[in-house]
Amino acid sequence: MEPSAAEPSAAEPSHAEPSDAEPSHAEPSDAEPSAAEPRAAAGTPIGRRVVLGMAGAGLAGILWGSRAQRVIGSALSPLSAVDGLGALGFLPAANRFRIYSVVGFLPSVRPVDYRLRLDGLVRQPSELSLADLEAMPAVTVRRDFQCVTGWRVPGVAWKGVLLRQVLERAGVGPGARAVSFGSFDGTYTESLTLDQAYRDDVVVAYQMQGRPLGTEHGGPVRLYVAPMYGYKSCKWLSRIRLVERVEPGYWEQQGYEVDGWVGRSNGRHDTAT
Amino acid sequence: MGATTPPPSQGGPAGGGGPIGRGLRLVRFDAAERWVHWLSAALFLVLLATGAMLDVGSLSVLVGRRDLVRQVHVYAGLALVAPLLVALAGRWGAGLRADLARLNRWDGDDRRWLRSWGRDPMLHTGKFNAGQKLNAAFTGGAAIVMLATGVVMAWFAPFPLSWRTGATFVHDLTATALLVTITGHVVYALGDRGAMRAMVRGWVEPGWARRRAPRWYAELTEHEGG
């Protein structure tokens, strides 16, 4: 019914317009317009069906594409574990990282110039270089990375130092109940309670999938808070400050939940990571 | 361009461009159609470049300036529909409207073309062959999909989060498909000087029309003879 309803309007211009544009040759014969009409209108309007069909499929994709992506993504996840997020990153259906930055650029520091400042309510304010971190006992935490906007990268291996050990190296001072994080992008901030910071799956990470952490992923050093949404995992980590109470971070001041547990916050119901 | 551009005569016959030296020139695409084509092509290239900068991790590190790149991408995307709409809006769009009607309609000849990929000797192809029709329809449909999903991605706040995920997924897939088909389109165009000239200068030589679009050629010369 769709093609026949639209047919007259589509057929019309094809014979009406040439006679507008070229009166000199369209006028002479009366048979001309009626002869041109069946030729232009002949055949099935496949073109329009293709266009409308694609538009419909696109709409369906907006509504249900996240489910399709989950299915395809988990089907491909054994591959992405092997692939180390290299070639698969170009596969549109694969679960992969999307790069966000709250400033208008991707901040970048050479690994040798990198410093992590520890201050606030610590016994001994100090600075750690990347080499200092690498010299500390390393852990690898392999967990999913879930973004609050919906994408999820399964089984990502994060190597680094437990946040707990970094804090203890500086010495947790009396009265410290929470931790604030700063980024060398100059803008981003995050926070955890001291209890959350002491978990076994909260890492100051310098490697991802066996490789040095790239700038786009928050390198050379970022935070990885496994059980929480990605915004808690402060990228381009440059400062750890012990404080008396939780100071809401960048996104939390704009409405994201401070306790960003995966599946139990921000109105989302993802499987826990 | 003006010198060799005949009046926009879609169904019109041969030769508005005037015989310079040898032979007849058949008008294939009028000025409005060519403007739409090349403006859209330029915008597509901008979208491809900025899209790659946003989406490919290593490129995004090289370029930096994400905000700016993102804005260029979004506004170029919105602008992509403008040339077509402007061309369709007025009298100058006569040729374009007529060609869209031709691209829309499929007959037995098109099915034969698809089955033999244009090699069937019995083909009597009109102005556009089935491959060109398919390409036009796919590109048009893909543009609508890219626009709709792009709008959801750029202005996601009022929509459910799952829409944003779905839109991103579809935007990615469609972009990949478009990259493939448009690369094919360019490769075919580069391999056919006559077709290329039709989109650059607007006209083709009769020999090209006889070979590549015999039924269209017959239509034009019928007029001429009658």
CB-nearest partner of B105 from A13, A44, A106: A44
Interface contact A20-B161, CB threshold 8 A: no
Q: What's the predicted TM-score (pTM) here?
A: 0.65
CB-based contact A266:A260 (threshold 8 Å): yes
pLDDT of A253 higher than 50: yes
In the predicted model, is pLDDT for residue A195 greater than 60?
yes
| Range name among A122-136, A173-187, A193-207, B208-222 with the lowest pLDDT average | B208-222
Residues 112-171 (A) with a CB less than 8 A from some CB of B: 148-151
Question: Which residue of chain B has the CA closest to A7?
Answer: B101
Amino acid present at B206:
P
Contact B61 A62 (CB under 8 A): no
Q: Is the Cβ pair B167, A65 closer than 8 Å? A: yes
CA–CA distance, A21 with A170 (Å, rounded to integer):
83
Q: What is the pLDDT of residues A89-127, one digit of tens each?
A: 555 555 677 777 777 678 889 999 999 999 999 999 999
Axis crossing angle, helix A46-83 with helix B94-104, rounded to the nearest 10: 70
Residues 27..46 of A with a Cβ closer than 8 Å to B: which? 29, 36, 39-46
Burial class (CB in 10 A: 0-12, 13-18, 19+), A81: middle
State the Cα–Cα distance between residues B15 and A24, nearest whole angstrom.
14
Give the one of B8, B166, B176 whose C-beta lies nearest to A63's C-beta.
B166
pLDDT of A156 over the 70 cut? yes
Summary mean pLDDT of chain A:
80
**Length of chain B counted residue by residue:** 226
B106 and A45 within 8 Å at the Cβ level: the answer is yes
Under the banding of pLDDT at 50, 70 and 90, the label for residue B123 is confident
Residue of A46, A88, A185 to mutate, testing the B interface (most B Cβ within 10 Å of its Cβ): A46
Chain A, chain B: beta-carbon pairs less than 8 Å apart = 197
pLDDT tens-digit readout, A230-251: 999 999 999 999 999 999 999 8
Q: Is the pLDDT of residue B114 over 60?
A: yes
Cross-chain Cβ contact A66/B169 below 8 Å: yes
Query: Which of these ranges, A3-17, A45-59, B93-107, B152-166, has the smallest mean pLDDT?
Result: A3-17
Q: Which of A13, A29, A68 comes nearest B97 by C-beta?
A: A13
